[in-house]
Amino acid sequence: MEIQPVKLEDAGELLSIYAPYVRDTAISFEYEVPSLSEFQDRIRNISSDLPYIKAVEAGKILGYAYAGKFKNRKAYDWSVEVTVYVRKDSRKSGVGKLLYNALEDSLKRVGVLNMNACIALPKGDDEHLSKDSFYFHEKMGFHPVGTFHNSGYKFNTWYDMIWMEKIIGEHQKNQCSVRYGEWTVE
């Protein structure tokens, strides 16, 4: 399996991975699957500054991950929000772990210090959401930092959102700037 940068030409295959999360789960809070052109715009906008990567095996994309700016204020430059999606038939096979490890390495190289993840949590048994994302992030070294109660509504159900963070660099008094647009995959 190889980790590679996502290209615009990958949008259709990535969208096929993402669409079931939109249609069938409360993992994504989107109600409608985005169009191919909208998804291409997302790839273009995100990857111009921060890592947008894919896991490829035998020419097939098994999953993807990316980092987006946490907030659009200069003081937040060292923090990003991270996301990972894995093809349904490849879940729990180590693809997500490989992607997140590569994403973290890429982010460290450009000077990012904080990785943040916003995760929906069910309040009990739920056919549209499990706690798998929480457990995955916990295994990857993320820690819960806050809960927003009843902040997402999908499938006639209110969901809590938790923020989890992972500190990946040293916070200094005279912090170097993040080198947006210079990310690579090694």
pLDDT digits (tens, 9 = 90+) for 100-153: 999 999 999 999 999 999 999 999 899 999 999 999 999 999 999 999 999 999
pLDDT digits (tens, 9 = 90+) for 40-70: 999 999 999 999 999 999 999 999 999 999 9
Ordered alpha helix ranges (H), the chain: 11-24, 36-47, 95-110, 132-139
Domains within the chain, CATH numbers bracketed: 2-167 (3.40.630.30)
Amino acid type, 156: N
> Counting every residue, how long is the chain?
186
Give the global pTM.
0.95
Q: How far is CA 161 from CA 82, 101, 141, 150, 152, in A?
A: 15, 24, 18, 8, 7
